[in-house]
Amino acid sequence: KKRYNITLLPGDGIGPEVISIAKNVLQKAGSLEGVEFSFREMPVGGAALDLVGVPLPEETVSAAKDSDAVLLGAIGGYKWDKNEKHLKPETGLLQLRAALKVFANLRPATVLPQLVDASTLKREVAEGVDLMVVRELTGGIYFGVPRGIKTNENGEEVGFNTEVYAAHEIDRIARVAFETARKRRGKLCSVDKANVLEASILWRRRVAALAAEYPDVELSHMYVDNAAMQLVRDPKQFDTIVTNNIFGDILSDEASMITGSIGMLPSASLSDSGPGLFEPIHGSAPDIAGQDKANPLATILSAAMLLKYGLGEEKAAKRIEDAVLGALNKGFRTGDIYSNGTKLVGCKEMGEEVLKSV
C-alpha cells in the first residue's frame, strides 16, 4: 500500500472548516485507490502568530519540507491587519513559498456549465471559459532587493521595491508553462510589459527563445494592460497564460472572478523536486468564518490537484473531481454559488455530499 505524509495548514478564518472537509475527502478517495495518508496539522499565518508569535514557525517549515505535499486553507484576518510587515499572516505565506521553492503557481479558471450564471459576464462570453494562469511565485517584485522605506537627503520618506528576474528563473517557469499548454489546447500567451520594463524585455526574449523547443505550442505575447482588458472582452481566447509574480497575482484574481465562482477555484504551487503547496484561491473570509457558510469546493479541488500534480495519483484525483461535479449536478450549492432552483447547503453538508459521491 502506498503511504504519503501530508502537512495540513488550516490557517485562519474559514481555513480550518474547509481543510477538515478536504481531509476527509482526500482520505476516502485515497483509500478507494489503495493509497493511505498520514496527516500532520501545523500552524501558519494568524493562527501561528497567536500561538507562537511568528507567522511561519520553524516547526511548520520542517514538517512541510519533510512531507510529500502540503494542503493550506487560508491565511489572514482583520485582527492582524495592522501588524508590522514581518508579523503579518501574509508574510508567513510568502516565507512558506520561498522555503518550499514553489516557483510555479498553477491557477485554473474554469466556468462549469452548472455555474455559468454565477459569472457577471454575459452567458455567451462566460460559457466554456477554461484557462490556466501559470504564475511565477518565488521571484520578481515580491522578493527583489533592495526594498524598504528610507529617508532621502531632503529628509523625505521614499518607498521602494525591486522587480528582478534572472534568465534561469524565466526559463524554468516558461518551461512549466509550455508543458502545461502542451497538455491542454497547445496555446500559450506570455504576458509582460516589454514596452516599458527591462525586466519584461528579458522575460519576452527568454520565453520567445524557448519556443523553438516546443514547436507544438503556439506562443503569443501580450502586454499586461491589454491582457486585463482581453480577459473581460473575450476570456475564451486564452488557453494557458504565463506571467510574472505581480501580474499573475492580478490577472489570476481577475480571471477567477470572471468565472463567477471564486469559491470553486483551486491552485497548485510546484517546485523542481520537493513537496508542492496546494490551496484554494479564495481568502480567509473572516466575516463568515465559523458560520458553516464557506464553500469547501475550492479546497476539495485543491486536494484533487495535490493528488494529480503533487503525488501523480491521477485516479484518486479524478474521483474527487467527479464527486464535486456529482454534488453540483444534484443541485447542491453553497451561498456564494446559489441560484434559483438549486438547494442551498452549508459548508459541512456540501462536504458530506461530495464525500458520498467519492
Ligand X SMILES: CC(C)[C@H](C(=O)O)[C@@H](O)C(=O)O
Which residues lie near its own copies (CB under 8 A)? 76, 85, 88, 90, 94, 120-122, 125, 141-142, 144, 147-149, 152, 156-168, 193, 195-203, 224-226, 228-234, 246-247, 249-254, 256-258, 262
**30 versus 55: smaller Cβ distance to ligand X:** 55
Catalytic site includes residue 292: no
Residue of 50, 66, 117, 225 marked catalytic: 225
Residue of 193, 214, 308, 309 marked catalytic: 193
Cα separation, 118 vs 205, whole angstroms: 39
Cα separation, 38 vs 46, whole angstroms: 25
Angle between helices 224-233 and 245-259 in degrees, nearest 10:
10
- For residues 35 and 5, the answer to whether their CB atoms sit within 8 Å is no
Residue of 4, 142, 165, 214 marked catalytic: 142
**11 versus 296: smaller Cβ distance to ligand X:** 11
Residues 279-318 that bind ligand X (CB under 6 A): none
249 counts as binding ligand X under rule CB under 6 A? yes
Reading the block at residue 174, the C-alpha cell is: 516558461
Query: Is-cis flag, bond preceding 215, omega within 30?
Result: no
Give exposure, 283-318, as e/b (b: 16+ Cβ within 10 Å). Answer: ebbbebbeeebbbbbbbbbbbbbbbbbbbebeebbe
Reading the block at residue 59, the C-alpha cell is: 516547526
Catalytic site includes residue 117: no
254 counts as binding ligand X under rule CB under 6 A? no
Binding test (CB under 6 A) with ligand X, winner from 195, 220, 329, 339? 195
Residues 61-100: x/- map of binding to ligand X (CB under 6 A)?
-----------------------------x--xx------
DSSP string, 87-110: GSHHHHHHHHHHHHT--EEEEEEE
Residues 14-53: x/- map of binding to ligand X (CB under 6 A)?
----------------------------------------
- For residues 26 and 59, the answer to whether their CB atoms sit within 8 Å is no
Q: Residues interacting with ligand X, by CB under 6 A? A: 90, 93-94, 195-196, 225, 249
